[in-house]
Structure 1
Amino acid sequence: MRTLPPLTAIRAFEAAARHKNYTRAGEELGLTQAGVSYQIKNLEQRVGTLLFVRQGRSMELTLAGEALAPRIAQAFAAMESAFALLGENEDSVLSIACFQTFATNFLAPRLGAFQLANPGIAVRIGVSNRYVDLDAGEADLAIRLSREATPELESHFLMDLGIAPFASPQFVARHPELQRANAAIPDEHRISTGTAWWQLWDEAHCTVRGAGGAIQTRGLEFDSQILDAAAAMSGNGIAILAPALFASEAAAGRLQRIGTAIARPGGVFRLVYPGVRQHSPKVRAFRQWLIAEIKQHLGADPDGLLRQHPPSAPA
C-alpha cells in the first residue's frame, strides 16, 4: 500500500522549489502565499524534516529539500509526458461501431473525404449488429438504429428510418403488375419474407399475407440487408430496404423502387457516445462531418427522413 503525502502538498513543494518564493508558487497553483506555506508545513510534518528555511525575503531549500526537489520535478515531468502521450494517442484514432449496411453502403464510400479533411485522425470501423459497450471503451462512438435513445449516452439524430420495396429493373419489367399504384407484393416475389420489415410494411399498407394473414417463410432468406439487396439486384425477387442506404444502387439502375410509398417503422438512425467524449475533438469533427454528409446525401429529402416521425401510414 502506498503512503505518499497528499499530491497537493507535493505540487506546492515542487513549485516553491522552482520559484524559491511562496507567493509566485501560489500564483502558479491558484493558492495564496499562506496556502502554499500550509501545504509545505503539512509535507514537512509527513516526512519529518524541514524542506525550506527563510533567508531574507526568499525561501531556500534545506539539504533534504535539495535532495528531494529534482526527483519530484522528474516525477512530475514523467506524469506530464505520460498524459501528453495519452492525449496524442487518444486524439489520433477514432473507433466507430456500426451495423453492416450503414458501414458498407454509406460510411465506407465517404470516409476518404473525412480523412482528407482530418488527416491527423485515423478511422477504424468495427462492423457488428450487437450493441457494443461504449462506456467500457469498446469504441469511441456508435451509429445505431433504434426506436428509443439510450438515456446514459449523448445522442444525435441523423435521419428517420423509411423502408420501401426494391427489385432489379429486369424483374419489374417481367412483372408489369408491380408498376400499378398500390400494387400488392405476393409472398413468392419477396426476399427474406420472414423479416420484421416486411411485416411492418404490410401493417402500414393494411396488407393481408397468405391464408389468414400468415407469413409464408419460403424462398430466399437472409439476415442482412446487403444480401437482400444483392439477391434483388440479381433478379431473384423483391427486397424491403431503407432507400437512404441504397440510393447509389438505385441511381446506377441496379435497383428500382416499386412505387413511391414509404413506410415508417419508427426507427431512428442516431450517433451515440459516452458523455465523457462530448468535448473530444475527433468526436466533434466526425459528428459535424457525418450530419452534414447525411443532409447532402438526402438532398431535397423527398421522403422526409430528416424530420423525425413516429410510426405512421406510408407517406
Structure 2
Amino acid sequence: MRHLPPLAAVRVFEAAARHLHFTRAAAELGMTQAAVSYQIKLLEERLGAKLFVRDGRGLALTDLAKRISPQVTGAFDLLGDAFGSIRDEAASVLTISAPTSFGTNWLAGRLGAFQLSQPGLAVRLRVEDQILDLMRGEADVAIRSGTPPWPGVRHQFVMRMAFAPFASPNVIARHAPIEDARDLLALPRIADEQWWTAWLGAVGLADCGDQPAGVYFDSQVLVGNAAINGQGVAMLTPGYWQAQIDSGQLVRLLPHVKAAHWQAGFWLVHPESKRNQPKIRAFRDWLMAEVRLAAGDDSDGILEPPGEATPTDGSA
C-alpha cells in the first residue's frame, strides 16, 4: 500500500514550486488563489514541514521543498508521458466495424483513398456481421444495418439497401430473351429469398407461385460470386459490384426497372463521447462524400433515408 499525500495537493505544490507564485499556479490549474493556499497548507500539515517561505523578493522554497520539487515534477512528467502515449495511439488509429457484404464489397476498396488523405492515421477495418460494443472500445465507428436508434451511440444515415437482379453474360445468353420481370420466374435463382420476395413484390409479382430450385447462400459476397460463375440470377446491391459490372462479369437484368429497397438502411454509428474527435469527423465527412459520389444521379434511390428513423448527427 502506497502512503502518499493527497495527489491534488501534490499537483498544486508542483505548479506553485515551478512558478514560485500562487496566483500563476492557480491560473494554470484553473483554481482560485485561496484554493491553492489551502492545498499547500494541507500538504504541509500532512508532511509536518513548511514548503514555502516568503522573503524580500516574494515566494521561496524551503530546503525540503527544493529537494523534493525536481522529483515531483519528474513524476508528473512520467505520468504525462504515459497518458500522452495512450492519447497519441488512440488519435492515430481508427478502427472501423462493418457488416461482411458492405465492408468487403463497398468499403474495403475505397479505404485506401481515405488513408492517403490522412497520412498520420492508421486505419483498421473489422469485417464481421457481429455487432461490436463501441462503448467498450471494440471499434471507434461502425457501419450498421437495421433501424436505429441503438443505445449509447449517435447514428447518421449512410445509404439504403438497394437490390436488383444480376447474372453472368453466359446465363443471359442461355435464357434470352429476358424482356420483363416475368421472364425471370423460370430462371435458376441464387437466393436470398427475402430479397427476391421483396423485389418481385415491388414489380407486381408478389404472388408468383413456387420458386424454382436454386442455390442458397447467407452472404451477398457468396451470392455475387456464384452469379459471376454462372449459377443463376442473383439479387445484388448494385453499388457493391460496380467493378464486376464495369468489367462485364455481371450484367444487370431489366436495367429500366428501379432497384427495390429493404426496409432498413446502413448507418454510421459512434459513441456520443467521440463525436468531436478529429479522426471520427474526418471519416464521417469522407464517407458521406464517397457515398454521394458513388450514387451518381441516384437512379436507384439509395440516398433516400428510411422514413421511420431520425438522425442524431445534428441535422435533425
TM-score under structure 1 length normalisation: 0.89
Aligned to 1:277: 274
Q: Confirm whether residue 302 of structure 1 aligns to residue 299 of structure 2.
A: yes
- Pick from 243, 246, 252 the counterpart of residue 247 of structure 2: 252
> Does the CA contact (< 8 Å) of 2:142 and 2:269 recur in 1?
yes
Q: Please tell me whether residue 230 in structure 1 is matched to residue 225 in structure 2.
A: yes
Name the residue aligned to 1:140.
140
Determine the C-alpha separation between the residues in 2 that align with 1:185 and 1:310.
30
Cα distance in 2 for residues equivalent to 1:82 and 1:190: 58
Identity, % of aligned positions: 44
Please report how far the alpha carbon of residue 310 of structure 1 lies from its aligned counterpart in structure 2 after TM superposition: 4.4
- Could you tell me how far apart the structure 1 residues matched to 2:136 and 2:282 are? 22
Which residue does 1:192 correspond to in 2?
191
**What displacement does 1:5 show?**
3.5
In 1, the alpha carbon distance for the partners of 2:267 and 2:306 equals 14
Q: How does 1:73-152 map to 2 (within 5 A)?
A: 73-152=73-152
TM-score by length of 2: 0.88
The residue number in structure 2 matching 1:207 is: 206
Aligned residue pairs: how many? 305
Matched with 2:163 is 163
Contact 1:114 1:289 (C-alpha < 8 Å) held by counterparts: yes
Deviation readout 1:210-246 (Å, 9 max, x if unpaired): 35xxx66x43121211111111112211111112222
Question: Mean alpha-carbon deviation: is it higher for 100-109 or for 228-237?
Answer: 100-109
Matched AA of 1:230: N
Q: CA RMSD in A?
A: 2.2
The residue that corresponds to 1:219 in the other structure is 214
The CA deviation string for residues 59-109 of structure 1, in whole angstroms up to 9 with x for no partner, is: 222233223212210111011111221122112221111122222222222
Uncovered stretches (5+) of structure 2, i.e. residues with no partner: 309-316
Secondary structure of 2:105's partner? helix
Q: Separation in 2 of the partners of 1:133 and 1:187?
A: 44
Match for residue 289 of structure 1?
Answer: 286
Q: Provide the rounded CA distance (Å) in 2 between the counterparts of 1:40 and 1:85.
A: 30
C-alpha separation between the residues in 2 aligned to 1:56 and 1:209? 100
SS at match of 1:112: helix
Aligned partner (choices 215, 219, 238) of residue 243 of structure 1 = 238
